[in-house]
């Protein structure tokens, strides 16, 4: 299975376009608190906040991946965004060095051949003392919503259907590592997702509604 992603973050699997996990969830799952926030700020201001948060989150993910890959980050100068993310990165590296035994890879493209969706794993790693791999998703925003359980279930199912099966693995764990910014920066939370059957069913229901809306 050949998985690529274009500049618009659209996934192509063997030349066919499949929806991404985040695209599906974003279309179907309503977030009333975000709608109220946008109404309070106004569309233009809310878009600026969203874009800035997205850029910051991407940077945190990138630095976390560099650490897992054993590569050093080289500062870019006085305006380097590293300073704004330092507390988050320090919290991540301390957690990673203490808890991770082995990392299979970072930013891994996966796709489910039966349900025809794709996505990107932040990390596939093994926690110290555990025999199973863990699909780990990093969240750097202020909170972690319940829809993230469906997101990690989708990633786990796709990984099990492809790369983990190829490795001879029959099981996999999943979790979120919440590394908030702002006043809570540095206060990291490891959140395991253990109810695989319910969360996987929730994901498939969302995927069904997504395709129904597009039909």
Q: What is the CATH number of the domain that holds 199?
A: 3.40.1350.10
- Residue 6 domain-assigned? no
CA-to-CA separations, 195 to 103, 174, 185, in angstroms, rounded: 23, 10, 28
- Residue 5 domain-assigned? no
- Residue 7 domain-assigned? no
How many whole angstroms separate alpha carbon 179 and alpha carbon 18? Answer: 30
Does the pLDDT value for residue 66 go beyond 80?
yes
What does pTM read for this prediction? 0.85
Please count the structural domains in the chain.
1
- Residue 202 domain-assigned? yes
Confidence of residue 89 (pLDDT cuts 50, 70, 90): confident
Q: Which is it for strands 117-127 and 100-112: parallel, antiparallel or unpaired?
A: antiparallel
| Domain around 174 | 18-214
Q: To the nearest 5 percent, what fractions of the chain are helix, strand and coil? A: 50, 25, 30
- Residue 8 domain-assigned? no
Greater confidence (207 vs 66) lies with: 207
How many whole angstroms separate alpha carbon 205 and alpha carbon 83? Answer: 41
> What is the model's pLDDT at position 37?
41
- Residue 4 domain-assigned? no
Does the pLDDT value for residue 75 go beyond 90?
no
């Amino acid at each position: 299975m050949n998985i690529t992603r274009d500049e618009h973050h659209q996934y192509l699997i063997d030349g066919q376009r499949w929806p991404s996990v985040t695209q599906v969830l974003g279309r179907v799952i309503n977030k009333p608190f975000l709608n109220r926030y946008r109404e309070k700020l106004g569309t233009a201001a809310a878009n600026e906040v969203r874009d800035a948060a997205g850029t910051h989150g991407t940077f945190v993910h990138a630095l976390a991946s560099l650490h897992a890959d054993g590569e050093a980050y080289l500062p870019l100068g006085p305006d380097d965004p590293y300073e704004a993310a330092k507390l988050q990165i320090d919290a991540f590296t301390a957690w990673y060095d203490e808890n991770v035994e082995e990392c299979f890879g970072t930013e891994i493209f996966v796709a489910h051949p039966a349900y025809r969706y794709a996505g990107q794993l932040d990390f596939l790693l093994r926690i110290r003392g555990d025999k199973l791999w863990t699909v780990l998703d990093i969240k750097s925003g202020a909170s972690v919503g319940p829809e993230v359980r469906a997101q990690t279930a989708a990633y786990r199912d796709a990984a099990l259907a492809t790369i983990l099966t190829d490795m001879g693995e029959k099981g996999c764990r999943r979790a979120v590592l919440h590394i908030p910014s702002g006043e809570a920066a540095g206060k990291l939370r490891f959140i395991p997702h253990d109810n695989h059957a319910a969360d996987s069913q929730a994901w498939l229901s969302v995927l069904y509604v997504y395709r129904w809306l597009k039909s």
